[in-house]
A and B are shown apart, each in its own frame.
Chain A
């Protein structure tokens, strides 16, 4: 079975985000960009399925600017087999991403799509669910553990009160949470090998999808700042202060 893994190029998770002075967005000039951390977990899970003989091919898909091909190369270096880059320069909302992925799924016929639960830039947490709905497939979001069965998968999910297991019929969409696995680092030989793996270049128009954003961003601002308060010297003083202000 084929597995499709969408990967997004985002600001590196270690970079401190700065809002632009004109409040039109976040400053991304000369900032280190990396694969969305949740997507790395998705790639890792897909590769493990291949190593276990459950998957035959892992396809990494990215929708973004030309540089997103580097993000695909990272996935290929980790062990994905080939890539599809859907080139577009502006911001693409989750719904448009889901529509493009739907068209790719119809062409490639995967049994499983593994997406990160959210991208750390827009924090939308929508794409996997939207893709599943558009395809009429089941979903298992916030995956903690995956067990492949025959024509189905049992997936343990992280939910507010603990863990929940659902069984989904394949084909299905799974979105990954942090503790599903620890992604590997690509080895140098694999990085070299990845350079020879094919990446198909497409555009949203090839899939008949209009990627014009539907939400209008009016402003991007810094969150309200919190001021540091006072230091207390002892645990007793801390308790007294908290009592004094009615916090306990």
Chain B
């Protein structure tokens, strides 16, 4: 049989989360096909066809898929499910939205946010906010899986898959997309940035996040925040890194004025290198930090900025 990966995209650009899901899919069942559901997303289908190891791209071009609304997505994926023994989506807010509908209709359990494929039917996944890792074995039959993308390497470019265009599978019209407000930023996205600099309650105000912006601009980093900073209204909720926000695993994570609550650590502790700046020496963040600086951030961050300038950043 084969596996089907549902592509993550914004209508124009194929997201890296797709490449990572392809890597997981190849370990579950080969060959790997990608479903691009979109409206006028030809460029996305084209990009998907260039991922190494992908045999075929199925491109469903229909207005119903422009925003990947869950109900029509369910119908579309179900219409293709017969030919696959594994269906995989990245565990983004989009994948988490439509995928359980598919599992329920197929009458199979969904395996959420896998971190590792031990064998084609056995997976590791985080439970209790990542405080425990469960190894679970799926029953015989179709597997419906969402993938914690930070746990898998992105499949690289270099493929030349065929692109098969298909018609939409219909829309019952019970739900519709109305509007969206997306954060505008010139910086890389939190979940795919190589460097992330996050601020916590210690930032004291939203205005003070400008201090982090300056460093982020120099390092081409994304800016994140702890739940405390979001709850205090310093920054919008899509900045949030943690169990209930985004899970990131960049090359470098710089935590500024973040104490390191379990819920925050769950979202960043798989980062390759962690640096922490906090004036409280006892802050739990220092227990996971490779480099800790006990200092007042309002002094340390401008100094860091100055050092980076000196080094030509």
Q: Which residues of A contact B (CB under 8 A)?
A: 11, 16-17, 19, 26, 93-95, 98, 120-127, 129-134, 136-142, 144, 154, 157-169, 172, 177-179, 213-223, 226, 228-243, 245, 247-248
Contacts and interface: CB of A to CB of B under 8 A. Distances in A.
10 contacts: A11-B128, A26-B132, A95-B107, A123-B127, A124-B112, A133-B102, A142-B93, A161-B183, A229-B291, A235-B304
Residue among B100, B182, B243, B311 with the most chain A CB within 10 A?
B100
Contacts of B195: 247-248
A139 B71 contact: yes
Pick from A179, A213, A238 the residue with the most CB of B within 10 Å. Answer: A238
A11 B131 CA distance: 13
Contacts of B63: none
B304 A217 contact: no
B238 to A, nearest CB: 5
A117 to B, nearest CB: 8
B204 interface: no
A126 B125 CA distance: 14
Contacts of A242: 252, 273, 275, 291
Contacts, number: 257
A141 B307 CA distance: 45
Main secondary structure of the interface of A (DSSP, over half): mixed
Contacts of B262: 16
A220 B133 contact: yes
5 closest A-B pairs by beta carbon, nearest first, are A229-B290, A235-B303, A129-B100, A130-B104, A138-B175
Contact of B133 (A120, A168, A222): A222
Nearest to B177: A166
B132 A220 contact: yes
B303 A231 contact: no
A200 to B, nearest CB: 25
B25 interface: no
A213 B137 CA distance: 11
Contact of B304 (A141, A159, A238): A238
Interface string B273-304: 11101000000001111111111000111011
A223 B174 contact: no
Given A123-B128, A126-B103, A130-B100, A218 B122 contact: yes
B275 A238 contact: yes
B29 interface: no
Given A130-B100, A222-B133, A215 B286 contact: no
Contacts of A240: 307
Instruction: Identify which of A160, A164, A167, A214 gathers the most chain B CB atoms within 10 Å of its CB.
Output: A160
B92 interface: yes
B103 A166 contact: no
Interface in B92-127: 92-94, 96-105, 107-113, 122, 126-127
A235 B295 contact: yes
B137 A125 contact: no
A209 to B, nearest CB: 12
Nearest to B96: A125
B293 A229 contact: no
A247 B273 contact: yes
A235 B277 CA distance: 9
Given A139-B71, A164-B177, A247-B251, 10 more contacts: A125-B96, A138-B174, A165-B177, A214-B139, A215-B109, A228-B288, A229-B274, A230-B291, A238-B277, A238-B304
Interface string B232-266: 00001110000110100001100000000010000
Contacts of B244: 177-178
Nearest to B301: A235
Contacts of B307: 235-236, 239-240
